[in-house]
Amino acid sequence: MRAGVHVDGVSRRFGRKDAITDVTFDVEPGEVLGLLGPNGAGKTTTMRVMTGYLRPTTGRVVVGGVDMADDAVAARQHIGYMPESAAVPSEMSVIGFLRYCARLRLVPRRERQKAVANALRQGGLGGMADARIGTLSKGYRQRVALAQALVQEPEVLVLDEPTAGLDPRQVAETRDLIAKLGRTRSVLLSSHLLSEVANLCRRVVVLDKGRVLAVSDVATLTAATGTRLELRVSGDTSRAARAVTAVAGVDDASVRGDVIVVKGTGDDLGQRVAAAIVEAGVGLLEQRVVSQGTLEEAYLNLVRE
């Protein structure tokens, strides 16, 4: 594997307590992968193992083709990490801190000026370069934390609650930036804002009690939570409802006035329902999706089990 991240059977134990157990997933190049789970699920431990801050008790992490156990320094060169509530030094200027980070990340001297300038631009800090970090608002300090994760132009970004504390405009700008960064990098995004994850991520990893409950496409998870359809037919509504009830994946079909309300699951639910009505000899005038499953519903179904 030349790029991306491979987390293979990783467990981490603190004394007698297992924080995470047999965690396995990949973050592919050019994707933003969501990491979900309730408080205490093991998300932070997973991210710290991925970024080399903690060693796994068992298992391995491969970043950019480099096994973290073989050469942690080389593996870390591929990673930019923005922890939740990242501590940024209040006494330093923004540009001074980013220059320090560039040296710390072994950015070659001839490339540091450009690297710092790019990090300032990507973090939306161009007008704040000389400001002392301690004078900045929480939102701008959050931007500084993001900029430091970008300063060595990493192939992999690990972002823990990157929009926490930002105002609505900054949230929108940060989400746009993450989407852009995810086109050319491997990005792991941990967020309690499920709408944010649904908008940015095609796939998610769901953790609970230190174990992986699911690694799945968002579309697959949400489809499993159900869809509600409303149908209008030109023939016998009761006959149509009976035909629909027999369709695989349909949980309920009820007649409400001249409307048939159908609840069920499956990506092609509408197609199967329409076919059943036509086969029953009833004309289908209209079919519309009233509601679809959400990532929040899918997530709650998983962690409640």
Q: Could you tell me which CATH class the domain 225-292 is placed in? A: alpha beta
Instruction: Identify the pLDDT of residue 264.
Output: 87
Q: How confident is the prediction for the chain on average, in pLDDT?
A: 90
Instruction: Identify the pLDDT of residue 291.
Output: 65
Helices (H), the chain: 43-50, 72-76, 94-104, 109-122, 138-150, 168-181, 194-200, 218-223, 237-245, 269-279, 295-304
pLDDT-derived band at 115 (thresholds 50, 70, 90) equals very high
For residue range 116-140, list pLDDT tens digits in order: 999 999 888 888 999 999 999 888 8
8-154-46-220 Cα dihedral, nearest 10 degrees: -70
Distance CA 298, CA 139 (A): 31
For residue range 10-63, list pLDDT tens digits in order: 999 999 999 999 999 999 999 999 999 999 999 999 999 999 999 999 999 999
Q: What are the start and end residues of each CATH 3.30.70.100 domain in the chain?
A: 225-292
First CA to last CA distance, the chain:
35
Q: Looking at residue 127, what DSSP letter applies? A: G
For residue range 49-99, list pLDDT tens digits in order: 999 999 999 999 999 889 999 999 889 889 999 988 777 999 999 999 999
Instruction: Identify the pLDDT of residue 190.
Output: 94
Residue 222, helix vs strand vs coil: helix
pLDDT-derived band at 1 (thresholds 50, 70, 90) equals very low
Provide CATH code, domain 5-221. Answer: 3.40.50.300
260 and 237 in contact (C-beta within 8 Å)? yes
Q: What are the start and end residues of each CATH 3.40.50.300 domain in the chain?
A: 5-221
